[in-house]
A and B are shown apart, each in its own frame.
Chain A
């Protein structure tokens, strides 16, 4: 019997080609979205699950109350891992992971004193030997127990070995880390690359006990110095709870620092399973995704699938009328209601299967092209991914039930006598029919997506157009790692000789950076003590000119190797109670990191971080602590300028690798997450619109055929083109209006929460909502326009004759 169902289903598909296209096309789109979203969620949920005993692995993180504000940090003090080993019970292993983020090192391979190859590698870490007892690696060579027991040893991944040495047979070979004296680091192990779903993507893992050179290791006995480049990981003994350890961590602060500090500082364990999801802390992978975001993504996927099912239900109940004769006959010939239900379910199942097959195939293609947008590449592995198989089966059952139930119910309920005589009328009734309700649901989903997408786009545009307080155009950043002033000066003067270069400045971080240097500044005046957190930038005398900053009062700094003056910003002046009286602040004394010096100038506020963050007090000071050169060029000769910079760089720093970035592009990249989200949302919105339009098109084409006679009669009775178009348009406008009323507050609520993240945000005005409404109206009109116009323009004689 099932064969018969399939057969007739297949013939129906062939017969109603446009309907098949809409059903299968819409469902396929919905299924592609569902599968791709499923794989993204599955990928994100799979991070670092394969380590042995993952539920016993933790990172020690820090919470501080700073001037009444709660702040979370992932880094801790250098001696913490060692102290945990000595003083805390219940710990099986602990390790410091040191990875200096502001300083991308160069690793060079010399053979018999000749440079073979050098690489700039940001995914490096220096760790304690216990690191390999906490995290699970697949070893290709070397001994995990002893590999990094001794100083100047390192373990590398397979792909790193291939990149630097051209082979994985590298045990005993040595590399030079960050130039300097050739105190070689010996390669003592090769491990397989970490899979893509790991937040520990290190390729070069060195022993922490390695001699300090150029700051690449962290030997620092201070408990007061914290940095996100020093993180502590532990593995608890089995049966030990987080709380048991957290209590002891509190005692450590009291022991090594003081009771007062312990009152404002907490150290606590963060489970490995949270590292990928807790946005209060970052991770080495650089991508943290809140579980809420995954949930939102899942809901979008479900909604798109529902939207596709709605097309199916609407179209199939609409055309049910034309199958009434078949239903009547089948009943007359002995078909029971349940047999007919089963029959129609079978047809839905068949269409769903076709859409699933297409969806799975096309998802594979989508996945291959989506990684530039996502920043990672989830894989399908249909044959081995059992969860995906179950998911696909669930989609099949869900879609078949969701899309098949109502049409099957509706069709099999037909009275056989009326059905045979074609007396079943299309139930295009008045009031809120199921079909209208479903269209409203579908329109609401689409409108929420459209409004959210528009708001995101407008927020990103807002970021791009915001005045940052300096000139971001035509500035090239070139990282430098050299504190030898004569060489730096040589580099600078060789650049300034060129007509393509306007200015050159050295500083620690440039104007705007993800790397923030800061601490508490103190200013004492008339026995009033101002203390607050601020940022510090170490600059040279060309900084203000190169970036086009505006000096509001006082003078620029003079060249100096150590801090002997401060330039502060407007926010600083306000914080210390000077408001707009900038010149009164000149000559006053302030201190940062214990260095007291006079304030010599006040500059206009500028944004030192992405616009997620607001302005904060900034102190600029001369000090030879330079990691970055900023070069202002003549934009009409960019290519020539870049060539000259590279030549000057290679002459001045033969051991370094030349790299550059444009400041405006780096700033734009700070909104990569938002741009990525916006791109994904764009895609989903487009798909929702296509699914919605397909459904609408199907319904209107059906309506125009079933109402041909009505239209003919109306025209004969004197209706004009507009009257006929109104027949189709009025209802659509009403449904769009109702769904807008539902969608607008939902999107407003969602987007208000999203915008909370940004210090600089757009106002949620009515304009953007109206734009979305007109957008969907336009799309609807375009979708139904052709069909309804054709129906309206048809010769009434033709339509009446056909009846």
Chain B
């Protein structure tokens, strides 16, 4: 599903050049659950942004679903992103002005689906996350865990093949964090590929494979045995 070859990302300002990723080679197959770990500033989020087609690498090749997308325009990346990739953020990033239902419905709107279809899919996603009873609430009226469940519903509503999660439990207490991780694991069981950036070894235990980054390099890759379900 994902193949990265010699990925490089350099941020340059007038005076300083910072290399965020240096010769990163990664392959992720469909159905995998991969955790990316490493200290702050090691390039985890940059890698996630490139995988999520939010950014282009400075050098190297990046293939997503068989397409070379290393140097696509923003518009082309947006087209490919739609419906294929779902995002989950540490700070949930729900739109405050929209209700729970409307937030979940949003990606479908951009896919140009009819209102009936949107309703059906959004409700199914909410049902799956046990959030139907909160469909008319606004994000501020929910607990952190509930907000993240809504964010996951939004990530999966368009049947995304890949879910990118950036520290999904970072803002949650351990009970709510576990709840979210279980949901992710279930999604993975049902066939969704998941790539998750995390600081937490506990969360990383849910993944099949852990990639450690340090100063922009892949340091180690561990296959995990007997991860929790």
Which residues of A line the B interface, CB within 8 A? 1, 4, 7-8, 11-12, 15, 325-326, 329-337, 339, 416-417, 420
Q: Contact: B75 with A337, CB < 8 Å?
A: yes
Q: Contact: B54 with A336, CB < 8 Å?
A: no
Q: Contact: A334 with B107, CB < 8 Å?
A: yes
Give complex CA distance A1, B107 in Å. Answer: 11
Give complex CA distance A325, B95 in Å. Answer: 8
Give the interface segment out of B31-39, B62-70, B77-85, B175-183: B77-85
Interface residue B22 (Cβ < 8 Å from any Cβ of A): no
* Closest residue of B by beta carbon distance from A8: B97
Q: Which 5 A-B pairs have the closest CB atoms?
A: A334-B82, A334-B110, A11-B97, A333-B107, A336-B78
Q: Contact: B102 with A7, CB < 8 Å?
A: yes
Contacts of B87 in A (CB 8 A): 332-333
Interface residue B229 (Cβ < 8 Å from any Cβ of A): no
Distance to closest chain A CB from B212 (angstroms): 23
Q: Contact: A330 with B54, CB < 8 Å?
A: no
Interface residue B172 (Cβ < 8 Å from any Cβ of A): no
Give complex CA distance A43, B55 in Å. Answer: 59
Contacts of A15 in B (CB 8 A): 97
Distance to closest chain B CB from A329 (angstroms): 5
* Closest residue of A by beta carbon distance from B81: A334
* Closest residue of B by beta carbon distance from A15: B97
Distance to closest chain A CB from B20 (angstroms): 12
Interface residue B10 (Cβ < 8 Å from any Cβ of A): no
Interface residue B111 (Cβ < 8 Å from any Cβ of A): yes
Within 8 Å by CB of B111, from A7, A11, A334, A417, lies A334
Q: Contact: A336 with B109, CB < 8 Å?
A: no
6 example contacts (A-B, Cβ-Cβ < 8 A) are as follows: A7-B102, A8-B95, A8-B97, A325-B93, A332-B54, A417-B55
**Total count of chain B residues near the partner, CB < 8 A:** 27
Q: Contact: A420 with B55, CB < 8 Å?
A: no
Q: Contact: B95 with A329, CB < 8 Å?
A: yes
Distance to closest chain A CB from B63 (angstroms): 21
With contacts A333-B87, A336-B75 known, is A417 near B81, CB below 8 A? no
Contacts of A416 in B (CB 8 A): 54
* Closest residue of A by beta carbon distance from B84: A334
* Closest residue of A by beta carbon distance from B93: A329
Within 8 Å by CB of A331, from B49, B78, B102, lies B78
Contacts of B52 in A (CB 8 A): 332
Contacts of B95 in A (CB 8 A): 8, 326, 329-330
Give complex CA distance A417, B93 in Å. Answer: 12
Interface residue B154 (Cβ < 8 Å from any Cβ of A): yes
Within 8 Å by CB of A333, from B55, B74, B79, B154, lies B154
Q: Contact: B111 with A8, CB < 8 Å?
A: no
Q: Contact: A326 with B107, CB < 8 Å?
A: no
Interface residue B106 (Cβ < 8 Å from any Cβ of A): yes
Give complex CA distance A227, B81 in Å. Answer: 85
Within 8 Å by CB of B102, from A4, A332, A334, A339, lies A4
Interface residue B206 (Cβ < 8 Å from any Cβ of A): no
Within 8 Å by CB of A326, from B74, B97, B109, lies B97
Q: Contact: B49 with A417, CB < 8 Å?
A: yes
Give complex CA distance A331, B75 in Å. Answer: 10
Please indicate which of the listed interface residues A1, A4, A332 has the most CB atoms of chain B within 10 Å of its own CB. Answer: A332
Give complex CA distance A772, B207 in Å. Answer: 72
Give complex CA distance A371, B154 in Å. Answer: 59
Q: Contact: A1 with B109, CB < 8 Å?
A: yes
Contacts of A331 in B (CB 8 A): 78
Distance to closest chain B CB from A45 (angstroms): 46
Contacts of B107 in A (CB 8 A): 333-334
Give complex CA distance A126, B113 in Å. Answer: 76
Distance to closest chain B CB from A19 (angstroms): 14
Contacts of B83 in A (CB 8 A): 334
Give complex CA distance A325, B93 in Å. Answer: 8
Give complex CA distance A558, B134 in Å. Answer: 105
Please indicate which of the listed interface residues B89, B109, B112, B158 has the most CB atoms of chain A within 10 Å of its own CB. Answer: B109
Contacts of A326 in B (CB 8 A): 95, 97
Give complex CA distance A416, B109 in Å. Answer: 18
Interface residue B124 (Cβ < 8 Å from any Cβ of A): no
Q: Contact: A417 with B54, CB < 8 Å?
A: yes
Within 8 Å by CB of A8, from B54, B75, B93, B98, lies B98
